[in-house]
Amino acid sequence: MELSQRLDLGEAVEVEQPQDAFARLSSLIDDSFNLIITPEATLADSGLSSLDRIELAIRIEDHFGVPITEETYEEHTTAGDLADYLAEQE
């Protein structure tokens, strides 16, 4: 008898979480700013204000464990580029 059956925990519930960095980043942006982005979208033209970009940097650091600076945004201008950077740094 399985331990979960003996403890009567019922069936395990699997929580779907996006696995690739872009899916996680776009979900974070959508949840935080109610904004849908594509990999080709530039953050500068996405509608995020400079304060939003600061908040996003903090959220990225919390979620991915990767610090984001203004230079990071300048070097990785599209959401896809930023996601690739995050995947490399994780």
- Mean per-residue pLDDT over the chain, rounded: 85
Q: pLDDT tier at 43 (50, 70, 90 boundaries)?
A: confident
Query: Is residue 8, in this structure, part of any structural domain at all?
Result: no
User: Is there a domain that residue 25 lies in?
Assistant: yes
CATH for 85: 1.10.1200.10
DSSP states of 32-45: HH-----TT-BSTT
What confidence tens digit (pLDDT) does each residue in 10-27 have? 555 444 444 799 999 999
Residue 30 lies in a domain: yes
Residue 10 lies inside a defined structural domain of this protein: no
Domain count along the chain:
1
Q: Is 59 exposed, middle or buried (0-12, 13-18, 19+ CB in 10 A)?
A: middle
If phi > 0 it is left, if psi is from -120 to 50 it is alpha, else beta; for residue 11 that is: beta
Residue 45: CA atoms inside 13 Å, Cβ hemisphere, count? 7
Task: Report the predicted TM-score, pTM, of the whole model to 2 decimal places.
Answer: 0.76
Amino acid occupying residue 46: S
| Domain span at 71 | 18-89
Tens-place pLDDT, residues 53-70:
999 999 999 999 999 999
Rounded CA separation 52/74 (Å) = 15
